[in-house]
Amino acid sequence: MKRISRAIAVVATAVAVTAGLAVIPVTSASAAAPAVNCSGDARIEKSFDNGTDWQMCWRVDSKHGLVLEQVAVKAPGEDSFRRVLDSVSLGQLNVPYDTGKNVWNDITSYGFGNQYLQKLSAAECSTGTLRDYGQAWSVTRRGVTTNYLRTIPSLCITDTTRDLSYRSHEQTWGSIEDKPLFTATGQAFNLTIVSKVDWYEYATKVEFTDEGAISFNLGATGDISYEDFDADATTGWPVGTDAANYAASHWHNAFWRLDFGLDGQSVQQVEQYDSTLGEQGEMAPLMHTTGATIAHPANLVPAADTTWWRVVAPESRNADNHARSYEFVFPGSQLYQGNPITQPLISVTNYADCEQFASNNLNPACPNLSVLDYVANSADTSLTDPVAWVNSGFHHVVRDEDQSPMQTHWQSFSIMPRDWTAQSMSTPDARTCINGDTGGEIHSDETPCEAVVPTDPEPTDPPATTEPPAPTDPADPGTEEPVDGGADAPTLKLSTTELAPGESFGLEGAGFAEHESVEIVLHSDPITVGELTADGSGAISGTLKVPAAAPEGSHTVVVTGAQSGLTAKVAVTVAPAAGPAGTGAGLLASTGTALPIAAATVALLLLAVGGLLMVRRRRRSAISPI
Amino acid sequence: MQSPPRKTRTRRLPYAILGGGVVAAAAIVGGFLAIPAVSGASGAESSATEELDEVTSKPDLGAPRDPLSPDELSYAIHLASTDESVPDDVTSVDGSDAPQVLSVDIANGDVDATGRLVDVFLFDYTSNQTFLQRVDLAGGSVESTAKAGVQPPPTPDEVDYAFSLFLDDAVASAAVRAEYAAVTGDELESIDQLAVTGGAFVPDAGTLGADACGLDRCVEMQFRVSGGGYLDTTGFVVDLSAKSVIGIK
Ligand SMILES: [Cu+2]
């Protein structure tokens, strides 16, 4: 294999680090007003450690069950949320039995809310938090209607993690020498309700990741239908001793209704991509993947198992000028051929108020219609406001293990961002420079990643929760103030100017005498922070700890060469001694959080001294109502 | 047993309201507590069941997508039920002069609409029509659409009534009574002896005998005996519009 190497100039790195320190882009104050029309416990908000935030409203509809609305994501570094989905919920659950004796439509004949919504105990939501919702019903007798309401804990909000969210080891291939490793434990949260419809208990679970993906899961548990031990060897499976009883096989055809609202755009399109083998290449045939816009409402069936679809907002562009989109990901979906409604994998329609259910529609303005009708009745219109009716089907051939209580079986699909951001939402800071063809390898320990040079060097307001603003030059915090103005003055850079007693910070400087000892002191009441030794070129770098005794307030870090007497200084602030992290203090965990660019610099400095191979941020997440 | 509105009543007093859901809620809590080894279930706490006051003037309103407060819920039902779109001769499942209230939800429409919009489904047993009343709580107005042959899920109230119709039909209920007696040794005399659920029955091409349910409001039911077994209820549906039991295949 070819190996290209291209050194990234050290001087460029230094510039980038300086620029990076000048930018503090992520603050809650700069976010635009979110378009979320709910309050209190109806609102879900989540901030992940990597800077990705989600917000949405939830409710439990009497028929749809869990409904999530105004679902929006804020990518790290962005100022405001961008809408992904206007709403999402189940649109039908069609359960035909292979014996031909039964077909259930659980959403439109029973519903997942009200009396079918299950009360959850803390033990059922053991690592999450519960929120309440109401069950309402009315009784009419002798002309008098009496209305009842009670609330039950019914939504479980659970945080999850996944190791190996990504991994990149800068080890030369084939070498066994350890090199900088970038890996992370990804974060997600999910929202789950349980609805009991006769024998089955269905968990509706939607999960949101720190990389912008959303998965839609229906879990079925409960019990095998007592009435359905009436199958034979081909329509069922022997459950119980020998072959006395065959439990009927059946389908759980879950339709999800995804009303897309990508970035609030008025024009959204659906595209289908197919891959075909082409002419013979040098070693293998070429494969050509081409896309086509689905111009009108349509029922979509995969042409091959490489077919995929996305919903794209052509006018919404990421920093690379690529149109933002979300792509459907199917881990394997089974399509029931016994009913034309379940033959498509996805039906796409334009949003229509009365089209609420995938079949047996209950809105009197579109009575008893199905997705096939919605498509047929609007086949001439342009598809610009797509609702995707996703058929997430599962053929359940019952096992012995499915007996009481049945092991929960899940049927799932997801949507993931495609070009929503110019890089992954979880790109580590030291890799933010990677965009497009790098032309070579990355060796963070030798020539650190060139950070993106910001277009606006003015810093935004510091996080609201930090202590009084530092009296630094706002255009250039954290860089040196020349002592004598001379060209030969030493330079000094800190990873952050917002210090806290007991916490570490990175320091880098140059221009001292070779191999001289350099003392680092915090002024004005001089507190010695530490000492570093300049290298052969007069440069210093290292990590130092802020003395626990450092008083809160504005200070100056002064470094002085023992032989040369050369000094450099940087104004800093010292926060009050750290207490417990501000639990529930606010939506955006800005307090003391390593901000992306500043953190990049920390990472670079730490890597530069070889002190750490892996950079992990402190976990900080909270769901907090406004 | 999961159905909160299941009311305690005897067959001889079929339509009296005896404490409504308060009794039902207590019974449910008792039911969970009576099961010793069920992990988790005993810890779940519901609020007390609240009988809502009648609200006929605009209460304080929540944000557009917030859950409905008790007063908002009650006011939405009031506006929906008294709107001029509801026929003068409207009847509920027991034949009395009121629309049957099927469901009340935050409106399933434009999520960015700024009003306080509520979808109230009503059924009129006189005209056999389903009404979707989109109520604007802020303005007090109702946008109504109605259609015959659209069947949202039956309410527990309607399922109770359907069970009474079924049990009162000695011929139609004979097989179920016999099965109940064989399983439990007792006579089936009251809905309290079973856990009963019911769904909207919409006939398809393969169902024989239920053509009336294309327009009538029909309910198929499931009967669970204490101990967990189900009785065979696949041979009939109850036509609530015609107040009759229909055999199906
Ligand atoms: Cu199953």
**B38 domain residue, yes or no:** no
Q: Using CB atoms, pick whichever of B25, B50, B132 lies closest to residue A364.
A: B132
Please report the DSSP string for B36-48 in residue order.
Answer: TT-TTGGG--PPP
Mean pLDDT of B64-76: 96
Mean pLDDT of A40-48: 96
Task: List A138's β-bridge partners, or say none.
Answer: A147
Q: How distant, in Å, are the alpha carbons of A396, A442, A449 from that of A433?
A: 48, 10, 6
Which one has a higher pLDDT value, A610 or A558?
A: A558
Residues of chain A with C-beta less than 8 angstroms from the C-beta of B232: 227
% residues pLDDT > 70 (chain A): 80
Distance A398 CA to ligand 1 centre (A): 7
Range of the domain at B236: 156-247
Q: Are A323 and A314 in contact (CB under 8 A)?
A: yes
Q: Is the pLDDT of residue A595 over 60?
A: no
Number of Cβ pairs < 8 A linking chain A and chain B: 234
Q: Is the pLDDT of residue A602 over 60?
A: no
Mean pLDDT of A557-570: 75
The domain made up of A4-16+31-422 has a fold known as Beta-galactosidase; Chain A, domain 5 (2.70.98)
Distance between start and end Cα atoms, chain B: 28
Residues A285 and A279: their CA atoms lie apart, in Å, by: 6
Report the pLDDT value the prediction gives residue B11, as an integer from 0 to 100: 28
Report the pLDDT value the prediction gives residue A292, as an integer from 0 to 100: 97
Mean pLDDT of A310-330: 97
Rounded to the nearest 5 percent, the helix, strand and coil shares of chain B are 25, 25, 55
CA-based max dimension of chain B: 59
Own/partner pairs for B7-15, CB < 8 Å, 24+ apart? B7/A139, B7/B160, B8/B192, B9/B191, B9/B192, B10/B190, B11/B164, B11/B167, B11/B168, B11/B189, B11/B190, B11/B191, B14/B164, B15/A141, B15/A142, B15/B94
pLDDT band of A527, cuts 50, 70, 90: confident
Report the pLDDT value the prediction gives residue A286, as an integer from 0 to 100: 97
Residues of chain A with C-beta less than 8 angstroms from the C-beta of B51: 146-148
Residues of chain A with C-beta less than 8 angstroms from the C-beta of B217: none
**Tens-place pLDDT, residues A288-297:** 999 999 999 9
Mean pLDDT score of chain A, rounded to an integer?
Answer: 80
Does B40 contact A110 at a Cβ distance shorter than 8 Å?
no
Residues A481 and A483: their CA atoms lie apart, in Å, by: 6
Mean pLDDT of A496-510: 78
Over A118-166, what HEC string results? CCCCHHHHCCEEEEEEEEEEEEEECCEEEEEEEEEEEEEEEEEEEEEEE
Report the pLDDT value the prediction gives residue A450, as an integer from 0 to 100: 52
* Least confident span in A295-304, A312-321, A486-495, B33-42: B33-42
Which one has a higher pLDDT value, A515 or A283?
A: A283
pLDDT band of A333, cuts 50, 70, 90: confident
Nearest to B154 by CA among B13, B3, B26: B3
Mean pLDDT of A48-77: 97
Report the pLDDT value the prediction gives residue A491, as an integer from 0 to 100: 75
Report the pLDDT value the prediction gives residue A418, as an integer from 0 to 100: 98
Report the pLDDT value the prediction gives residue A469, as an integer from 0 to 100: 36
Q: Is the pLDDT of residue A444 over 90?
A: no
Beta strands in A440-511 (DSSP E): 491-494, 498-499, 504-510
Q: Are A489 and A55 in contact (CB under 8 A)?
A: no
* Interface with chain B: mutation pick from A362, A370, A373, A404, highest number of B CBs within 10 Å: A362
**Dihedral Cα A461, A462, A468, A471, nearest 10 deg:** -80
Q: Is the pLDDT of residue A117 over 70?
A: yes
Residues A50 and A400: their CA atoms lie apart, in Å, by: 43
% residues pLDDT > 70 (chain B): 82
DSSP-derived letter for residue A322 is P
Which one has a higher pLDDT value, A173 or A342?
A: A342
Does A196 contact B7 at a Cβ distance shorter than 8 Å?
no
Residues of chain A with C-beta less than 8 angstroms from the C-beta of B234: 101-102, 227
Q: Is the pLDDT of residue A608 over 90?
A: no
**B236 domain residue, yes or no:** yes
Distance B225 CA to ligand 1 centre (A): 22
**Dihedral Cα A126, A127, A128, A132, nearest 10 deg:** 10
DSSP run (H or E) holding B219: strand B218-225
- Range A491-609 has CATH code 2.60.40.1930: yes
Q: Where in chain A is the domain with CATH 2.70.98.20?
A: 4-16+31-422
Residues A62 and A90: their CA atoms lie apart, in Å, by: 12
* Least confident span in A151-155, A459-463, B70-74: A459-463
* Interface with chain B: mutation pick from A138, A194, A355, highest number of B CBs within 10 Å: A138
**Tens-place pLDDT, residues A466-489:** 333 333 333 333 343 333 434 467
Which one has a higher pLDDT value, A505 or B214?
A: B214
Question: Is any Cβ of chain A less than 8 angstroms from the Cβ of B238?
Answer: no
Q: Please identify which residue in the block is written with the tokens 């207490």.
A: A579
Residues of chain A with C-beta less than 8 angstroms from the C-beta of B74: 147
Q: Are A87 and A65 in contact (CB under 8 A)?
A: no
Nearest to B53 by CA among B69, B67, B71: B71
Does B104 contact A364 at a Cβ distance shorter than 8 Å?
no
Beta strands in B22-90 (DSSP E): 50-51
Residues B160 and B57: their CA atoms lie apart, in Å, by: 31
Q: How distant, in Å, are the alpha carbons of A64, A113, A459, B192 from that of A119?
A: 17, 11, 49, 22
Give this prediction's pTM.
0.74
Residues A495 and A464: their CA atoms lie apart, in Å, by: 20
Q: Are A251 and A92 in contact (CB under 8 A)?
A: no
Residues with a beta carbon under 5 angstroms from ion ligand 1: A 396
Q: How distant, in Å, are the alpha carbons of A329, A422, A499, A584, A605 from that of A529?
A: 53, 40, 12, 33, 17
DSSP run (H or E) holding A273: strand A269-280
Mean pLDDT of B23-51: 51
Tell me how many domains chain B contains: 1
Question: Is any Cβ of chain A less than 8 angstroms from the Cβ of B222?
Answer: yes
* Least confident span in A13-22, A154-163, B86-95: A13-22
CA-based max dimension of chain A: 101
Report the pLDDT value the prediction gives residue A94, as an integer from 0 to 100: 97
* Least confident span in A264-278, A480-494, B100-114: A480-494
Distance B29 CA to ligand 1 centre (A): 28
Q: Using CB atoms, pick whichever of B81, B92, B150 lies closest to residue A364.
A: B150
Mean pLDDT of A184-201: 94
Does A151 contact B132 at a Cβ distance shorter than 8 Å?
no
Rounded to the nearest 5 percent, the helix, strand and coil shares of chain A are 10, 40, 50
* Least confident span in A33-47, A190-204, A523-537, B77-91: A523-537
Mean pLDDT of A537-552: 77
Q: Is the pLDDT of residue A427 over 80?
A: yes
**B51 domain residue, yes or no:** no
Q: Is the pLDDT of residue A159 over 80?
A: yes
**B9 domain residue, yes or no:** no
% residues pLDDT > 90 (chain B): 64
Q: Are A406 and B187 in contact (CB under 8 A)?
A: no
Q: Of the spans A229-243, A361-375, A451-465, A528-542, which averages the highest pLDDT?
A: A361-375
Distance A224 CA to ligand 1 centre (A): 7
Q: Is the pLDDT of residue A331 over 80?
A: yes
Q: How distant, in Å, are the alpha carbons of A454, A506, A558, A564, A608 from that of A519?
A: 33, 15, 8, 12, 20
Q: Is the pLDDT of residue B88 over 50?
A: yes
Q: Are A519 and A511 in contact (CB under 8 A)?
A: no
Q: Are B157 and B168 in contact (CB under 8 A)?
A: no
Q: Are B217 and B240 in contact (CB under 8 A)?
A: yes
**B116 domain residue, yes or no:** no
Q: How many CB atoms lie within 10 A of CB A583?
A: 9
